[in-house]
Amino acid sequence: MEQLTTSQVSSIDQQHIWHPYSSLTSPIPAYHVVSATGVRLKLADGRELIDGMSSWWSAIHGYNHPRLNIALKDQIDTMSHVMFGGIIHEPAAQLCKTLVDITPDGLEKVFLSDSGSVSVEVALKMAIQYWYSLGQPQKTRILSLRKGYHGDTFGAMSVCDPVTGMHHLFSSTLAQQLFTESPRCRFHDDWDESYIADIKNLLEKHSHELAAVILEPILQGTGGMHFYSPTYLKRVRELCDEHDVLLIVDEIATGFGRTGKLFGCEWADITPDILCIGKAMTGGYMTLAATLCTSKISDGICNGEAGVFMHGPTFMGNPLACSVANASIDLLLSTNWQARISDIEQQLKSGLAPAKDFDNVTDVRCLGAVGVIETKKPVDVAQIQKQFVAEGIWVRPFGTRVYVMPPYIISKSDLDTLMRGMLNVVQNHKN
Ligand SMILES: *Cc1c(COP(=O)(O)O)cnc(C)c1O
């Protein structure tokens, strides 16, 4: 195949290619990236951008990492893929054992899948099949939080925020779930029981038809970039137990250190019945996700009518993805990641603080390796993206949230450059 020129790439892109949440009738030109190393994305025109996004939470070790590269190359020469039905291999065994060891105590069983959304589908199916198996087929609804985000497939969409998830567009086909208010308590707020009054009330009224509560722990990501109190999480765990409703925790964004703990659940010292992980699991190299559950859930499902859990993706347990996940987790755990994240948090806090005084900013908040500037009005993404690129940084805001979650390996000076660029752009952005 002949190599495409930059203008050919761009023209094919505009004519044929859908990007996440994009229009094909008024497409916004996409930036052509030719390579990425460390925390830098290199554009076709030679410019280099400091990455503030970790490619949506995933590239925690930066790009083109020698250890991850070797893990993949070695695995390619051994076996790239083999079906998972009736077959097991070392990379999957290694990964699942590690996941059981590092996730909260009690999560013993692992279902591997291809993407975060699918791991959420699997979690919802586990919860529903569990109650069905226990002779409670009426427990099928899910209680979710406003401003939550759990993915783009149908089951996952049904538990996303109804407004930002555009439920009305799909209302005839989406499962009708229950929603409680987004947690009103901020991360450091003193606890007040009124914060859980709404979810408590819903659990009391609807426990007979509820299979599970689903939530993102500590940090509501794509739906709002809000950090909330660990006590909320702890109390929801207790309420679920009281009302015989399962708890599904979606750690697809928060997993693998992002909030300062290896998993967000650790802030509240809880074990969910079902846990979803993805994004950073392979260090951003391959798409891979997992749904973990306790033995209570797997026993319930497997002792029921079907006798098996009803799900099985073609690329389940892909050896390439498992190998690079093993290498990525090993790399993370072999470094002093907690100190690293804490340094990033301190630097984000002081570096972004000046934005609090900007006229067009309502809030600045940071936790772990996540920094958020909330603007008064939604930003014009196409326009602001251009300004970020002109500053030599890659930041992709949504709505009123201009946020960064850089690779953990980012240097102090690169993070300074990234934040200075953010402040410049936000301060001068007219929307
Ligand atoms: C990204 C994300 C998902 C969806 O994962 P995909 O890999 O994009 O399907 C689900 N839940 C949360 C919390 C996420 O951040």
Tens of pLDDT, residues 366-424: 999 999 999 999 999 999 999 999 999 999 999 999 999 999 999 999 999 999 999 99
pLDDT digits (tens, 9 = 90+) for 295-312: 999 999 999 999 999 999
Rounded-to-integer distance, Cα 328 and Cα 66, Å: 11
Residue 416 lies in a domain: yes
Give the residue from 287, 303, 333 where a domain finishes: 333
Range of the domain at 178: 70-333
Report the relative pairing of strands 289-294 and 393-394 from DSSP bridges. Answer: unpaired
110 in the same domain as 240: yes
pLDDT of residue 164: 87
358 in the same domain as 244: no
Catalytic residues: 21, 149, 250, 279
Residue 302 lies in a domain: yes
Q: Which of 56, 142, 150, 370 to mutate to test the pocket of ligand 1 (most atoms within 8 A of CB)?
A: 150
* Residue that has been written with the tokens 């003193």 in this structure: 190
pLDDT exceeds cutoff 90 at 243:
yes
At residue 21 the predicted structure's pLDDT band, cuts being 50, 70 and 90, is very high
Closest atom of ligand 1 relative to the 120 alpha carbon: 10
Which residues, including other chains, have CB under 8 Å from residue 113's CB and lie 6 or more apart? Answer: 119, 122, 288, 289, 290, 291, 311, 313, 316
pLDDT digits (tens, 9 = 90+) for 339-365: 999 999 999 999 999 999 999 999 999
State in Å: Cα 320 to ligand 1 middle.
21
171 in the same domain as 57: no
Closest atom of ligand 1 relative to the 156 alpha carbon: 10
- Mean per-residue pLDDT, 5-18: 96
State in Å: Cα 255 to ligand 1 middle.
11
pLDDT digits (tens, 9 = 90+) for 178-223: 999 999 999 999 999 999 999 999 999 999 999 999 999 999 999 9
pLDDT of residue 58: 98
150 in the same domain as 280: yes
At residue 167 the predicted structure's pLDDT band, cuts being 50, 70 and 90, is confident
Task: Give the whole-number percent of the chain exceeding pLDDT 90.
Answer: 96
pLDDT exceeds cutoff 80 at 169:
yes
State in Å: Cα 260 to ligand 1 middle.
19
β-sheet bridge partners, residue 371:
366, 404
173 in the same domain as 271: yes
Residue 107 in tokens: 């999560």
329 in the same domain as 388: no
- The structural domain count of the chain equals 2
State in Å: Cα 90 to ligand 1 middle.
27
Report the relative pairing of strands 393-394 and 48-51 from DSSP bridges. Answer: parallel
Rounded-to-integer distance, Cα 287 and Cα 375, Å: 32
274 in the same domain as 240: yes
Q: Residue 382 carries which DSSP code?
A: H
- Find the largest Cα–Cα distance for the chain: 64
Q: Which of 117, 145, 225, 286 to mutate to test the pocket of ligand 1 (most atoms within 8 A of CB)?
A: 117
Task: Give the whole-number percent of the chain exceeding pLDDT 70.
Answer: 100
Residue nearest to atom 8 of ligand 1 (CA): 116
Mean of the per-residue pLDDT values for the chain? Answer: 97
pLDDT exceeds cutoff 80 at 149:
yes
Give the residue from 333, 367, 395 where a domain finishes: 333
349 in the same domain as 207: no
Residue nearest to atom 5 of ligand 1 (CA): 116
Residue 1 lies in a domain: no
Residue 185 lies in a domain: yes
Alpha carbon distances (Å) from 234 to 25, 70, 202, 266, 282: 47, 41, 17, 10, 29
Q: Which of 274, 279, 403 to mutate to test the pocket of ligand 1 (most atoms within 8 A of CB)?
A: 279
Residue nearest to atom 10 of ligand 1 (CA): 150
Q: What is the CATH number of the domain that holds 87?
A: 3.40.640.10
Say if pTM beats, i.e. exceeds, 0.95: yes
pLDDT exceeds cutoff 80 at 52:
yes
Q: What is the CATH number of the domain that holds 354?
A: 3.90.1150.10
Closest atom of ligand 1 relative to the 278 alpha carbon: 7
347 in the same domain as 304: no
Question: CA angle, corner 263, sides to 226 and 103, nearest 5?
Answer: 150
pLDDT of residue 27: 85
State in Å: Cα 252 to ligand 1 middle.
6
pLDDT exceeds cutoff 90 at 53:
yes
pLDDT of residue 147: 97
- Mean per-residue pLDDT, 137-148: 98
At residue 88 the predicted structure's pLDDT band, cuts being 50, 70 and 90, is very high
pLDDT of residue 166: 87
β-sheet bridge partners, residue 145:
180
* Residue that has been written with the tokens 């993407």 in this structure: 115
User: Could you tell me how many helices (H) and strands (E) the chain has, helices first?
Assistant: 13, 16
213 in the same domain as 157: yes
- Mean per-residue pLDDT, 75-103: 98
Residue nearest to atom 11 of ligand 1 (CA): 150
Give the residue from 333, 353, 380 where a domain finishes: 333
363 in the same domain as 249: no
pLDDT of residue 165: 85
Using CB distances shorter than 6 Å, the residues near ligand 1 are: 115-117, 120, 149-151, 216, 221-222, 250, 252-253, 278-279
Cβ(324)–Cβ(61) below 8 Å = no
Helical pair 412-428 and 381-390, crossing angle rounded to 10 deg: 140
At residue 261 the predicted structure's pLDDT band, cuts being 50, 70 and 90, is very high
Alpha carbon distances (Å) from 375 to 54, 361, 387, 422, 430: 22, 4, 16, 12, 11
pLDDT of residue 430: 81
Closest atom of ligand 1 relative to the 250 alpha carbon: 13
State in Å: Cα 161 to ligand 1 middle.
13
pLDDT of residue 190: 97
How big is the chain, counted in residues? 431
Residue 340 lies in a domain: yes
Cβ(120)–Cβ(239) below 8 Å = no
Instruction: Give percent helix, percent strand, percent coil of the chain, each to the nearest 5.
Output: 40, 15, 40
Q: Residue 243 carries which DSSP code?
A: T
In 304-397, at which residue ranges do the beta strands (DSSP E only) sit?
361-367, 370-375, 393-394
Residue nearest to atom 3 of ligand 1 (CA): 151
124 in the same domain as 207: yes
Q: Which of 149, 248, 315 to mutate to test the pocket of ligand 1 (most atoms within 8 A of CB)?
A: 149
State in Å: Cα 150 to ligand 1 middle.
5
